[in-house]
Structure 1
Amino acid sequence: MFLGKVIGSVWSTQKEAGMENLKLLIVQPIDWKDREGGQTVIAADRIGAGIGEKVIVSGGTPARIVFQNRQVPIDAVIVGIVDSYEVTREQ
């Protein structure tokens, strides 16, 4: 999992089976100091995240598990919208 910031949306009229009605968002990975940290990803969103929000993204096989018995060809899914976080010591 990683922390990211939603920076955009992707619209696609043609999708693979299992991806119908899935919102796709562009997420920029960030570190705990809000600095960009890695390559952007396209993540499926079922929880209603919006542009500018910090999110928690899960990738790989765990991302597909969220969809239970459906075969969904995704590599990343937004699993949480971050309200706040606290870091107790600077690293």
Structure 2
Amino acid sequence: MARVIGSVVSTQKDSSLVGKKLMIVRPIDSDQKEIRFEQVAADTVNAGIGDNVLVVRGAGARRADGESGNESADVNDCTIVGIIDRFDK
């Protein structure tokens, strides 16, 4: 889980990232408190700044991005795959 805190604009990037929105996310815990450090994630669900989101990393991030089988997709190591509506504990 993470919170979107900004976006990144990059005109020069790996071809696997062309056309993808890149967002700055910071991991959060189930109490919605920010933890750890910021990272950049490719956005597949049109998340916005302030949204709490689900992220996947590693091989899952590359598959979620619809680029499996494409070696250049290995650049993407963090992908936003869902927007969190609420936390139930």
Shift of 1:65: 1.1
TM-score by length of 1: 0.87
Structure 1 unaligned blocks of 5 or more: none
Choose 11-20 or 48-57, whichever is displaced more. Answer: 11-20
Give the secondary-structure state (helix, strand or coil) at the position aligned to 1:39. Answer: coil
Structure 1 Cα separation of the partners of residues 44 and 55 of structure 2: 12
Counterpart code for 2:78: A
Moved over 4 A (4+): none
Note the aligned Cα RMSD (angstroms): 1.0
- Residue 75 of structure 1: aligned partner: 77
Percent identical pairs in the alignment equals 41
TM-score by length of 2: 0.89
Structure 2 Cα separation of the partners of residues 34 and 65 of structure 1: 27
Report whether the alignment pairs 1:49 with 2:47.
yes
Deviation per residue, 1:33-58 (Å, 9 max, x gap): 11111111100002100000000000
Choose 31-40 or 61-70, whichever is displaced more. Answer: 61-70
**Which structure shows the bigger proportion of residues in helix conformation?**
2
Give the secondary-structure state (helix, strand or coil) at the position aligned to 1:6. Answer: strand
Structure 2 Cα separation of the partners of residues 18 and 9 of structure 1: 18
- Larger-gyration structure (1/2): 1
Structure 2 unaligned blocks of 5 or more: none
